[in-house]
Amino acid sequence: MNLIIDVGNSFVKLAVFEADRILDKKIVTAENFLKNFENFIEKHQNIEKGIMSSVGNLTEADVFAIQNACDMMLLNHDTPVPFFNQYSTPKTLGIDRIALVSAAVSQYKNKNVLVIDAGTCITYDFVSAESKYYGGAISPGLNLRYKALNNYTAKLPLLKPEEPTSIIGDSTNAAIHSGVVFGILNEIDGSILNYQEQFGVLTIILTGGDANFLSKQLKSSIFANSNFLLEGLNTILQFNSHE
């Protein structure tokens, strides 16, 4: 069994895979990581190897516990991956994006794939049918847009994401929801259309924390998969185990 750890800025995702199948998943806060991690490991005694992707910070005790759990690989920019990286600055490419592209080439072989990760930021990553990764785009995510309106204006309130009832907001709150949510939806649908015009047939994956909120409102045909990054990390681990 494989142990997969995705360390974000606020939360840590833990998962156990048997081959390509996810057996168990748990999301914990970084502050309460150690106790939850120990309990998670106790449930799964047959873990042989693992991989960790980290864009956040863990304590020395957390890292020590992870390293002692199994044969653990730390994903970095030098880790062999199952695609050809055409990014002009590969050392600056986010490791979360590396994992997403790895999942795309593994699960959708010989297809053009656009992966959209709707998290703190919205990232767009394009990989060709020849497994060549060219890059994509980065824009502010849902909560960042709500926070920006509050932080950079004197009177606009900080709201939680809410599906707008109309394109026309008849109050300040409704206008904010309309501007933020429809702005993102139009951005995503427009980006998909631009990629389709350039590359033709395209498989579109939507993942990330806001994927479920956005997927039901998009016009484009997509596959929503909240575990796509974890699956990508597992793909990288398997790829390196076979070398």
Tell me if residue 125 is catalytic: no
Q: Which of 20, 78, 96, 210 is catalytic?
A: 96
Q: Enumerate the known binding-site residues for substrate.
A: 87, 94-97, 172
Buried b (16+ CB within 10 A) or exposed e, 17-53: beeeeeeeeeebebeebbeebeebbeebeebebbbbb
Q: Enumerate the known binding-site residues for K(+).
A: 117
Site of tokens 């490419």: 93
Task: Check if the beta carbon of residue 114 is closer than 8 Å to that of residue 205.
Answer: yes
Element (H, E) at 122: strand 121-127
Task: Check if the beta carbon of residue 75 is closer than 8 Å to that of residue 235.
Answer: no
Q: Provide φ and ψ at 64, rounded to 5°.
A: -60, -45
Task: Check if the beta carbon of residue 40 is closer than 8 Å to that of residue 14.
Answer: yes
Q: Enumerate the known binding-site residues.
A: 6-13, 87, 94-97, 117, 120, 172
- Catalytic site positions: 96
